[in-house]
Amino acid sequence: MGRLGRTGGGALLAALAALGGACTTTTEVLPVGLELNRPVHGSALRAWRLLGEAGTLGYVIEFGVTDDLDAAARTVFSVRNPWQQELGTIDGLGRAWRFQPHEEEALWLTTGTLAEGVRAILDAGDDARLEELPLALLEGSATPTPEARR
C-alpha cells in the first residue's frame, strides 16, 4: 500500500467530506411584483374613543388611503390604547388584527363590526361603546388633549 496506508487514506477522505459539508448556499428570492411597490399616503378621516365603566379604554383613527394606479380608496382603522400606542388594526373588510410583541405577524382576532374589532383588540367587554370625536382633538399630538380624555 502507499505511504498513507489504510488508516491515513480514510482520515483524508473524512477531512475532505467535512470540508464539503461546511459549504452553504444562500438564495434570496424577492416577492413577485416587488418592483411595483411604492409608498402611499394615508389621511386621518375620523376618530373615536372606546368608553367603558372605567372611562376611556382606547382610541380608533380611520385612515383613508388612495391608490393613484386605480384610484380605489382603502380604509384602515388604527386601534390605540389611552396613551396612543397602536395595538392593532382593522381593515376595510372588518378583520381585526392585534400586534404581538416580538412577532412579525399580527394575530387575527375576529371579523365583524368596527366596535367588535376594537373591543377584541383592546380586550374590552361588550358594554364598551364607541363615541365619535372631532378629529381636531387628536391631530398634532401623540397624546390626546384633556378634552379628548373625558
Mind listing the pLDDT tens digit for each residue in 12-32? 666 666 665 566 778 887 778
Alpha carbon distance 147, 138 (integer Å) = 10
Tell me the Cα Rg of the chain. 27
Model confidence pLDDT, tens digit, residues 101-138: 999 899 999 999 999 999 999 999 999 999 999 988 77
What whole-number distance in Å separates Cα of residue 11 and Cα of residue 95?
A: 61
Residue type, 123: D
50 pLDDT tier (thresholds 50, 70, 90): very high
Instruction: Report the distance separating Cα 1 and Cα 10, nearest Å.
Output: 13
Distance of CA 150 to the CA centre of its chain: 29
* Domain map (residue ranges) of the chain: 41-149
pLDDT at 20: 58
pTM for this entry: 0.66
Tell me whether strands 73-80 and 107-111 are parallel, antiparallel or unpaired.
unpaired
CA angle, 44 as apex, 136 and 103 as ends, to 5°? Answer: 120
Report the chain's mean pLDDT, rounded to a whole number.
80
Measured distance CA(44)–CA(24) in Å, rounded? 48
